[in-house]
Amino acid sequence: MMRFFKHSILVCLLVFMYINPPARAAGDIGVKLVRLKTTDGIPLTGVMRTPHKAPKNAGVVMIHGYSGNFYSGIMGFLPEALADQGFTTLALNMRDHDRGPKKNRFEDNRHDIAAAVHKMAQLGYNSIFLYGHSMGTNRVLYYLAKTGDPRINGVLLTGPPGNLFEWNIHIFGIETATRVLRQAQDLMAKGKGGQWMLIDLGPLGKALYTAEHVVSLRGPDTVSDPYRNIARISKPAFIVHGLADRLANPDIADRLRSSGTSASEVTVLKIPDANHRFSNHQETLANVLSRWMIEQINP
């Protein structure tokens, strides 16, 4: 029943998108529902927007953050805004999208991103960029650090939360953050990695995580650490953070820049008064991301 309910909501949202598109000249952008399957057999859904006017033959794979999806929050405006500026965008629902229980390991995210990048490459885009928002920044950095995918021209990051265990320390203090992680590690040691834990996420509410999921995000051997991953990439990166972000500390952008190498050419831009979702700064965000990508295509 719950699966049917979620599917019905998704259908209604997609119908609304088609019946009530934003005002623009007819035929400027093609909008298409895309269904993908990962190499480990997970079906994914996303929306591809293809500009017909002044296309740049460049694609952007867009990855949402924790509890996100391809049609709300920052994904509710940015994929379309970049398409308006000539970039084909593919905004994807990751396997752990929305606010449902989380059981997958962080490292499995790479399969989702790989499926989207492969789709863009199949369509013949000469330049492909990875975009991640919030926890999506950790996902795209890990993907590129793990694969070194030569098809990727650059990485765009907005509102990065940094190391996820450190984020929990910042929200709850070191004692609480350590206690939750140890509980998950103890379950893993007993062969109970699939056992559910009710996790307090502070401003994000509460969610059910398996012990394995917790450890994959926060454990000492996690591959989600963005500082280690950005040091392993050799592609340019552009980080945009709002100075009014209360969910992710804007100083994280500076730490990511200092963690990168000269090969990654990390650029940071901070927007005054912008919050985590860049409310009231949507046009500014789209413009700076677009300009940066054009610079990478035409240096």
39 lies in some domain: yes
242 lies in some domain: yes
Instruction: Mark whether 193 and 69 lie in a shared domain.
Output: no
pTM for the model stands at: 0.90
pLDDT in tens, 58-107: 999 999 999 999 999 999 999 999 999 999 999 999 999 998 999 999 99
Number of domains into which the chain is organized: 2
pLDDT in tens, 164-215: 999 999 999 999 999 999 999 999 999 999 999 999 999 989 999 999 999 9
Instruction: Mark whether 39 and 153 lie in a shared domain.
Output: yes
- Give the pLDDT band of residue 56 (cuts 50, 70, 90): confident
Strands 58-63 and 237-242: unpaired
Domain span at residue 216 reads 164-223
Name the phi and psi angles at 144, rounded to 5.
Answer: -70, -35
- Give the pLDDT band of residue 8 (cuts 50, 70, 90): very low
Tokens of 139: 């996902």
Residue 184 burial by CB count (10 A; 0-12/13-18/19+): exposed, middle or buried?
A: buried
Tell me, what CATH number does 45's domain have? 3.40.50.1820
Tokens of 30: 């093609």
- Give the pLDDT band of residue 298 (cuts 50, 70, 90): confident
Cα separation of 140 and 154, whole Å?
A: 11
Stretch 265-269: mean pLDDT: 97
228 lies in some domain: no
Instruction: Mark whether 94 and 126 lie in a shared domain.
Output: yes
Instruction: Mark whether 130 and 209 lie in a shared domain.
Output: no
Cα separation of 167 and 160, whole Å?
A: 11
Instruction: Mark whether 272 and 186 lie in a shared domain.
Output: no
